[in-house]
Amino acid sequence: MTNTSNNKNDNHFFKSILFFDNNNNNKKSSDADSPKPIALLSSLANSVVYRCSKILLIPTEELQHRFETELPDVVKQPSTYTRNFLGFCSYQALNLVTAHPDYLSDKEFRCLTFDMMLAWEAPGVKNETPEPR
Radius of gyration of the chain (CA): 16
Q: What is the pTM of this model?
A: 0.72
d(CA 70, CA 84): 13
pLDDT for position 34: 62
d(CA 49, CA 40): 12
pLDDT for position 106: 84
pLDDT for position 133: 65
Neighbouring residues of 51: CB distance < 8 A, sequence distance ≥ 6: 18, 19, 93, 112, 115
pLDDT for position 71: 95
Domain boundaries, the chain: 44-127
pLDDT for position 128: 65
pLDDT for position 35: 72
pLDDT for position 126: 82
Low-confidence ranges of the chain (pLDDT < 70): 1-34, 128-133
Tens of pLDDT, residue by residue over 95-114, are 999 998 888 888 989 999 99
